[in-house]
Chains A and B, each alone.
Chain A
Amino acid sequence: MSYVEIPLVRLAGAALLIAIAVAVSRRRKLDLEKDLLVGAVRAAVQLVAIGYVLVLMFRSESTWLVIAALTVMLVVAAWTASRRVTHGPGWRVLMPRAALAIGAAFCVALLPVLAWVIPVRPLLSARYAVPIGGMVMASGMNVVALTLERIMSSAHQRAVVIEQALALGASPAQAMQPIHRQALRAALTPTINSLLTLGLVQLPGMMTGQILSGTSPLQAVRYQLVIMYQLVAVAAVAGTLAAWFAQRALFDDRGRLRRFPAAVQDGGKHGGS
């Protein structure tokens, strides 16, 4: 074994680090002690549970189990991306669209990589598809959430400008063009920033993990680069699709802008303005 195992007793000892934050909270009267303790326990329970699930999946090597795990991840990612959108048609309308955007980005960014760049067999091997798929979906989730929220809230704030463009003969796509451009730039910028600072400001978690587990740093770097390139593709595909879906939700079949009240959380309604 090329890494140092962590005994459970020492893991429990590491949890004492939380006590520092609790002490700071108590001394400064931040009233965050309960949140810190609940957070620490929840993180431990969730991670230990997923650890056992991964052990089970690695042992069984069942492709169906991997597909099931990826599906659960996709549903949670889509729900998270769509539930906080203000001035939108509600999460029930947005969630299937968010799932399509994240799912399409997942297919574009992950499957060719597993087929050719990291040629694992079977294609959906749990050891590769679940952790890399998880990173890809988390990134897709953030991009879709950001794009949906930005487009919906911009369309609400700038409804008069959009309707003015429509009144002059613009199509919904033409009227939304400046908002789309801003939203996609905003969605892609964090990924581009992390590309630019990779290795200078941050050593990414995946690479650090591989190095700690005994992988050659040069191989770990290759894996990390593949992931980063994937995340760029995810941002582009998920962002573009999310923007397109947002636009479809914003206009009726005759190109009229729909108005949505703030923070509709129960979805389903598509009433005109």
Chain B
Amino acid sequence: MQDQRSPRLRVTGLHVRRGDRVVIHDVGLDVAPGETVSISGPSGCGKSTLLRALAWLERPDAGRIEIDGEDAETIDPRAYRRRVSLVFQEPPMFDGTVADNVRFGPRLLGRELSDSEVAALLRQVSLDPAISSRDASRLSGGERQRVALARSLANQPRVLLLDEPTSALDPEAAHGVIAQIRHLACDGLSVVAVLHVPEHARSLGDKHLRMRDGRLEPEESTA
């Protein structure tokens, strides 16, 4: 059993360079089980790169990432990315229906989600399960973001990384998604979300951090 006080995700001394430029500078971050962390900051300050590095899609030049006390370097990358799942800002849909997309992750392991499991995941992100038979390439931006969230949740991650999860949503839908994410956190899911709308960042995050020139700084606590 994981000690509730020890962090679910621990990041220490993370550096990412692109050529001569340091994009992420000595970032440290602890996220407890069920904790939501929101990160805001100006464009190009390194927020998305940080999420990509945490999702093991970007090679850090230095630093350490631990999940439940295990060094990420020692975990199979596929298993790590199931435990720490990134939802892109403009998530691409795979060919097929919404249900095919939601089933994508479990299918890679040879497990087929039932129709009721797909419906439950869609309801979790405030989508009508009737959408499951629709062609995923014909969804609106907001629907895509929510289907992508359901697709990540299908892998039952321990940490959810969200890159601007409300950017394609109208205010009402954005509040709905924030409420859903907070609800998921109550069930023990840890969340790190990059949000550019300050109000969304404050209402989502137990801990609100600000990123400036690749450095992460505490801003305020809303817990």
Which chain A residues have a beta carbon within 8 Å of chain B's beta carbons? 160-161, 163-171, 174, 178, 252, 254-257, 272-273
A170 touches B108 (CB 8 A): yes
A159 and B143 alpha carbons, distance in the complex (Å): 22
B57 touches A257 (CB 8 A): yes
B: number of interface residues (CB 8 Å): 26
User: Top 9 nearest A-B pairs by Cβ distance?
Assistant: A272-B59, A255-B77, A169-B82, A168-B105, A167-B86, A161-B92, A169-B78, A254-B77, A160-B92
- Residue of B82, B85, B108 near A174 (CB, 8 A) is B108
- Residue of B90, B95, B108 near A169 (CB, 8 A) is B108
Question: CB-defined interface of B73-96 with A at 8 Å, one 1/0 digit per residue?
Answer: 100011101100110101110110
A168 touches B58 (CB 8 A): no
B189 at the interface (CB under 8 A from A): no
Who on chain A is nearest to B161 by CB? A167
User: What are some 8 contacts across the A-B interface (CB < 8 A)?
Assistant: A163-B88, A169-B78, A169-B105, A169-B109, A254-B73, A256-B56, A256-B77, A257-B57
B39 at the interface (CB under 8 A from A): no
> Which residues of chain A are within 8 angstroms of B202 by Cβ–Cβ distance?
none
A169 touches B58 (CB 8 A): no
B92 touches A164 (CB 8 A): yes
A256 touches B58 (CB 8 A): yes
A161 and B56 alpha carbons, distance in the complex (Å): 16
CB distance from B180 to the nearest CB of A (A): 19
- Residue of B55, B58, B82 near A273 (CB, 8 A) is B58
CB distance from B60 to the nearest CB of A (A): 9
B81 touches A166 (CB 8 A): yes
A165 touches B155 (CB 8 A): no
> Which residues of chain B are within 8 angstroms of A254 by Cβ–Cβ distance?
56, 59, 73, 77
CB distance from A19 to the nearest CB of B (A): 55
Which chain B residues have a beta carbon within 8 Å of chain A's beta carbons? 55-59, 73, 77-79, 81-82, 85-86, 88, 90-92, 94-95, 104-105, 108-109, 151-152, 155
> Which residues of chain A are within 8 angstroms of B91 by Cβ–Cβ distance?
164
A256 touches B78 (CB 8 A): no
Who on chain B is nearest to A167 by CB? B86
A213 and B104 alpha carbons, distance in the complex (Å): 60
> Which residues of chain B are within 8 angstroms of A178 by Cβ–Cβ distance?
95
A255 and B108 alpha carbons, distance in the complex (Å): 16
- Residue of A168, A171, A255, A272 near B151 (CB, 8 A) is A168
A242 and B188 alpha carbons, distance in the complex (Å): 45
Who on chain A is nearest to B82 by CB? A169
> Which residues of chain B are within 8 angstroms of A255 by Cβ–Cβ distance?
56, 77-78
In this complex, the member of A163, A169, A174, A257 whose beta carbon has the largest number of chain B beta carbons within 10 angstroms is A169
A34 and B117 alpha carbons, distance in the complex (Å): 70
A252 and B82 alpha carbons, distance in the complex (Å): 19
B155 touches A169 (CB 8 A): yes
> Which residues of chain B are within 8 angstroms of A171 by Cβ–Cβ distance?
78, 108
CB distance from B81 to the nearest CB of A (A): 5
Who on chain A is nearest to B83 by CB? A169
CB distance from A169 to the nearest CB of B (A): 4
A168 touches B92 (CB 8 A): no
- Residue of A160, A170, A257, A272 near B88 (CB, 8 A) is A160
Who on chain A is nearest to B55 by CB? A167
A259 and B140 alpha carbons, distance in the complex (Å): 29
CB distance from B164 to the nearest CB of A (A): 14
> Which residues of chain B are within 8 angstroms of A170 by Cβ–Cβ distance?
78, 108
> Which residues of chain B are within 8 angstroms of A163 by Cβ–Cβ distance?
57, 88
> Which residues of chain B are within 8 angstroms of A273 by Cβ–Cβ distance?
58-59
> Which residues of chain B are within 8 angstroms of A166 by Cβ–Cβ distance?
57, 77, 81
Knowing A161-B92, A174-B108, A254-B77, say if A168 contacts B85 (CB, 8 Å).
Answer: yes
Q: A160-B90, A167-B55 are in contact. List 15 more A-B contacts (CB 8 A).
A: A161-B94, A163-B88, A164-B88, A165-B94, A166-B57, A166-B77, A167-B152, A168-B104, A168-B105, A169-B105, A252-B59, A254-B56, A254-B77, A255-B56, A255-B78
CB distance from A229 to the nearest CB of B (A): 34
